[in-house]
Amino acid sequence: MLRQLNNIKNKARAMTYAFLRWTEKWTKTDMVYLAKGGFWLIFGQIAASISSFILSILFANLLPKETYGTYKYIISIAGVLSITTLTGMNTAVVRAVSRGHDQTVIKALKAKIKWGTLGGLTSLFIAYYYFYIGNTELSVGFLIVALFIPFMNSFGIYDALLIGRGLFKKIGIFFITSQLIAFLVMLITIMMHGSIYLIILSYFASWTTARLLFLSISLKKYIKNEQADDSSISYGKHLTFVNLITTISEYIDKILIFNQISAANLAMYSVAVAPVEQLKVLSKNIKNLIIPKFSKKEEIKINSSLTPKIFKFLLALLVISILYILCAPLIFKIIFPRYTDSLFYSQLFSLSIIASASIIPISILESQKKQKELYLINITTSIIQIFLILFMLYFYGIIGIIIAKIITRFFELLISLTILNRKYYVFKKPI
């Protein structure tokens, strides 16, 4: 009986392999690689999206809007401060490990913690400011942030090690487990006690603990040599500098809404963008597949064969956007009954899903270490987004911010494709 089951299993694998190879005639892509790696990355991201979505439902239905808005404000400031942990270092480590420089992970970890202490100190100053003006809630919140900033994101460097070695199944398992730990801790905290202090503490403590656990496992099992690439540390700092303005532009909308309008309006805005952002996160897994693959390739091999892949990806994102617009009324009626005012904002914002296709050209440029081009894309796009958000918020309020973000993301898609084409002639050959 066992032998028959093994035969059936082997036949199923062979048929699946043959089918994937057959589909390559249409996709012009290594579908076996994509299926092996993409399955676990997508599965992990689906689990993350589901858990985040459930938490959003709990926040929206069990907590006052002001508490939810305050939570999103503190997390947004923490997101900006996390840039001090050299957030661009992970991409550089993926590239180094894929080239056989495993020891780069250790050097990168030390650098991330070292620089992350600046973020912790900054959060302490913010905590003191709010204590000085009498806002104890925010003061304690940022004190908690200060304790965890140097470590939470830094411990996540193990992810870059696993991606660089192509261990996508292990990445998925670790990511899903981390999500489950954080989700359960947050769920218990919200259900048992609605204190903003405990919610913030449970968020940072659960993620930091989970990442430390999997960092320890990864360093023991997957560091295979003593080779280090010092240039990757420098490259990681360059990528972080590139991401500096990008990170500010990513969180400035929430920071401005909290300070210029109200915490309740920030809660409404957060509910509007949350489902769309979760859908867009799925496309970011493409980056984890592209960078290891293209890091091993010579520039000459990156050519017009990418053109149909990019257009098919755009078409898929368009379909997802349309489906969301159609389903959103039912979603908000059932899941977010207290936030029906957010429905139109959410439908409008879903147009930005299409622009997520920019992940392909940007990831290719990162894999080829094109620092100048990445500077141009990130800095230009971020400056435009910050300017548009400030302008549109002043004249049109929340809907102005959403329109500003849509315009910016399509601009990022356009400029990244243009630069990729000039560098590798993806859409046309030189005359």
Work out the end-to-end distance of the chain between its first and last CA atoms, rounded to an integer number of angstroms: 64
pLDDT tens-digit readout, 210-255: 999 999 999 998 888 888 888 888 888 888 887 888 889 889 999 9
Does residue 16 have a pLDDT over 50? no
pLDDT tens-digit readout, 82-113: 999 998 898 889 888 888 888 899 999 999 99
Token representation of residue 62: 């069990």
Token representation of residue 429: 């050959």
The residue among 170 and 343 whose pLDDT is bigger is 343
pLDDT band at 429 (very low <50, low <70, confident <90, very high): low
CA-to-CA dists, residue 195 to 74, 183, 189, angstroms: 14, 17, 8
User: Rounded to whole angstroms, how far apart are CA atoms 163 and 104?
Assistant: 14
Asked whether the beta carbons of 23 and 34 are under 8 A apart, the reply is: no
User: Rounded to whole angstroms, how far apart are CA atoms 122 and 104?
Assistant: 28
Q: Which residue is it, tokens 């098919």?
A: 312
3-state secondary structure 138-150: HHHHHHHHHHHHH
Max mean pLDDT range (58-67, 263-272, 364-373): 263-272
What was the pLDDT predicted at 77? 95
Token representation of residue 185: 């801790």
Nearest to 306 by CA among 286, 320, 326: 286
DSSP letter at 226 equals -
Max mean pLDDT range (159-163, 188-192, 200-204): 200-204
Least confident of 29-33, 70-74, 335-339, 344-348: 29-33
User: Rounded to whole angstroms, how far apart are CA atoms 74 and 56?
Assistant: 16
Tell me what the mean pLDDT of segment 138-155 comes to: 96
What was the pLDDT predicted at 430? 44
pLDDT tens-digit readout, 41-76: 666 666 677 777 788 888 888 888 889 999 999 999
Which helix (DSSP H) or strand (DSSP E) does residue 314 occupy? helix 306-335
User: Rounded to whole angstroms, how far apart are CA atoms 181 and 214?
Assistant: 12
Token representation of residue 93: 């480590």
User: Rounded to whole angstroms, how far apart are CA atoms 351 and 347?
Assistant: 8
Token representation of residue 6: 């093994």
Least confident of 141-145, 210-214, 290-294, 337-341: 290-294
Q: Which residue is it, tokens 């470590």?
A: 151
Structural Rg of the chain based on CA atoms: 22
User: Which stretches within 223-283 are classed as H helix?
Assistant: 230-260, 263-283
Does residue 29 have a pLDDT over 60? no
User: Rounded to whole angstroms, how far apart are CA atoms 426 and 418?
Assistant: 9
pLDDT tens-digit readout, 389-422: 999 998 999 999 999 999 999 999 999 988 888 8
pLDDT band at 31 (very low <50, low <70, confident <90, very high): very low
C-alpha 415, offset from chain centre: 20
What was the pLDDT predicted at 9? 46
